[in-house]
Amino acid sequence: MLRRLRAFALLALPLVSACWDNQELNSPDLSNNNGLFQRYAAIGTSISAGFQSAGINDSTQRRSFAFLVAQQGGAAFGYPSIFGRGCPAPFTNNVTQTRVGGGSASGCDLRSVPVPTTLNNVAVPGMQVVDVFSNTASAVSTYERLQTFFLGGQTPWNALKRTQPTFVSIELGANDVLGALLASGNPGNPDSITPIPVFESVYSEFADSVDGLDAAVVVATIPDVTVIPYASSGTIYWCLKNGVCPGVPANPAFANVTVSNACAPGTAIPGSKGDSILVPWTIGVAGVLASTQPPFTPFALDCANTAQVVTPEEFANMRNTTDALNQFIVSEATTRGWTVVDANAILAQLRATGQVPLFPDVSQVPTGGSVLFGPYFTLDGFHPSNATHAVIADSVIAAVNRDHGTSIPLVGP
């Protein structure tokens, strides 16, 4: 009997061991970040979203620093891809205002389908801090239009929380100051800057909320918008007109242009504060170019005219506000053990190459080309180019590698 049972067991053994093979997960390779990027959520402004040349489409979205960081980490990264020309389509020529595919400034092509099952990039162009928890707080028309299109009625916080992130990049605050520079009719308008107490209150609440997600976080500070090529100093205009500044010869394009002495540097005309005055290119360069084209309308730049320039007081307000907000952001991040990426260190790095022009390049305009802002800024004068996004992405990656012991490869030039 025992022999029979033993024989039966021997017969059964191969049958018992003949189990089926398990199929496998088809997960992305996150080995270079130890799984940190399992669920990466990016929240921010048009920079995180991938806005370039006054527009955004799938091509520019895939060049945002957030997309590049995710790509280098091997992470899945769902973003609100715009199908077709864009929403709006980016400039192809900022003088003639033509856009990709003949699109218009108010035009908006549809989202690509199928939409991503997980939306990792919840950045929305135009987002200010007050928009994080509310869909009706902001009066910025661009943000309003794109918020529904990008997040479908979710608040940015709810969209972020929905991803259950393991890693978050936060790039907020630029629009809380930049709005002043972009304000038409009164550049530098202090009413377009988010009051510091309001910013701090909402940002702090937001930081507390993100802290509760138990995710690794990297925070970018607010870039100093007074040094981007969107606006040039009053001094530059005065020098280009008069040709008396070392290294700045007179520009023939200024033949039909008058520049008030209020634009002069204090070293040339005592009491002038041209170095602390900013002239948006949409006012200054546009006026200069118009004076060179039929009907050759003379252009008068008056640096005492607040409708044309950012005054020294407004300039100081923007700078001081940026500094104060950045101190607050760094404090909030440091307290929570978050990684900080200094946007102004990146700007300084770019300016050190000498390729951030003090005055836009208008040499191609006579032959039908665009006003150019160097290799690091796109045709709107303030959104970063592909090259800059790569620099930003590498700054983020280097900081993450340093603070989290990961080995994510850099994007490189």
Partner 1 sequence: MRRFGVSLVLVLTAVLAWPETSYAQGYGVYEQSACTTGRGGTAAASPCGDGSAIYFNPAGIAGRAFSGSIGGTLIAPSATFVNDNTGLESDFLAKVYPVPNLYISGPIADRYAVGLGVFVPYGLTTEWDKDTFEGRFLGYRSTVRAIYIQPTVAAKFGKVKVGAGLDITSLHLKLQRKADLSQVVVPNPALPPGTTFGALGIPYGTDFADTEISGDAWGVGYNVGIIYEVNEKLTLGARYLSRQKITTDNADATFVQDPTGLVLTGGNPFGLPAGTPIDALVAGQFQPGGLLVDQKASSGLRLPDQLVVGVTVRPVTQLALHFDAQRTWWTVFDQVPIDFAESDALDQALELGAKNVWTWRFGGEYTLSGDSQTVLRGGLIFHKGALPDSSVTPLLPEGNRTDFTVGVGTRIARSFYIDAAYMYVNQADRRGRTVPLTIAETNGLYKDQHAHLFGVTLTYDF
- The least CB distance from residue 51 to partner 1, in Å, is 16
Q: Which stretch binds partner 1 (CB under 8 A): 11-19, 42-50, 97-105, 400-408?
A: 11-19
Sign (positive/negative) of CA torsion 70, 74, 76, 79?
A: positive
Residue 188 has φ and ψ, to the nearest 5°, of 90, 5
Nearest Cα neighbor of 121 from 204, 39, 52, 56 is 39
154 binds partner 1 (CB under 8 A): yes
Q: Is 211 exposed, middle or buried (0-12, 13-18, 19+ CB in 10 A)?
A: middle
How would you classify the pairing of strands 40-44 and 167-171? parallel
Candidate ranges 19-27, 231-239, 277-285, 313-321; the one touching partner 1 (CB under 8 A) = 19-27
31 touches partner 1 by CB under 8 A: no
34 binding partner 1? (CB under 8 A): no
Does residue 116 bind partner 1 (CB under 8 A)?
Answer: yes
Cis before 249 (ω within 30)? no
Q: Which of 36, 68, 132, 151 binds partner 1 (CB under 8 A)?
A: 151
Q: How many residues bind partner 1 (CB under 8 A)?
A: 51
The neighbour count for residue 243, using CB atoms within 10 Å, is 11
353-382: b (≥16 Cβ within 10 Å) or e: eeebbebbebeebeeeebbbbbebbbbbbb
Query: Closest separation between CB of residue 400 and partner 1, Å?
Result: 19
Stretch that binds partner 1, among 53-61, 160-168, 257-265, 285-293 (CB under 8 A): 160-168
Q: Are 310 and 231 in contact (CB under 8 A)?
A: yes
What 3-state DSSP class applies to 66? Answer: helix
Residues 6+ positions from 149 with CB-CB distance below 8 Å: 80, 87, 108, 111
Q: What is the smallest separation between the CB atom of 310 and partner 1, expressed in angstroms?
A: 27
Token pair of 360, please? 């836009």
Residue 147 in contact with partner 1, rule: CB under 8 A: yes
Residue of 104, 164, 267, 353 that binds partner 1 (CB under 8 A): 164
Q: Which of 59, 84, 42, 44 is nearest to 386 (CA)?
A: 59
Is the sign of the CA dihedral 199, 202, 204, 207 positive or negative? negative
Q: Binding of partner 1 at residue 20 (CB under 8 A)?
A: yes
Q: Which of 31, 102, 105, 115 binds partner 1 (CB under 8 A)?
A: 115
Site string for partner 1, 50-79 (x = CB under 8 A): --------------------------x---
Judged by CB under 8 A, the residue of 96, 97, 110, 335 near partner 1 is: 110
202 vs 253, beta carbon nearer partner 1: 202
**CB of 38: closest distance to partner 1 in angstroms?**
5
Binds partner 1 by CB under 8 A, chosen from 2, 3, 10, 113: 113
Instruction: CB nearer to partner 1: give 8 or 296.
Output: 8
**DSSP string across 315-345:** HHHHHHHHHHHHHHHHHHHHHHT-EEE-HHH
The answer to whether 400 touches 339, Cβ cutoff 8 Å, is: yes
Please, what sign has the CA dihedral across residues 100, 104, 106, 109?
Answer: negative
Q: Which stretch binds partner 1 (CB under 8 A): 46-54, 135-143, 339-347, 403-411?
A: 135-143
390/408 with CB nearer partner 1 = 408
What's the min distance (Å) between Cβ of 380 and partner 1? 20
> Interface with partner 1 by CB under 8 A: which range of 61-69, 111-119, 319-327, 380-388?
111-119
Measured from the CB of residue 155, what is the shortest distance to partner 1 in angstroms?
Answer: 8
Told to check if 29 binds partner 1 by CB under 8 A, we report no
**What is the rounded CA–CA span in Å between residue 109 and residue 112?**
9
Q: Binding residues for partner 1, per CB under 8 A?
A: 1, 4, 8, 12, 15-16, 18-28, 38-39, 76, 80, 83, 108, 110-119, 135-136, 141, 143-145, 147-154, 159, 162-164
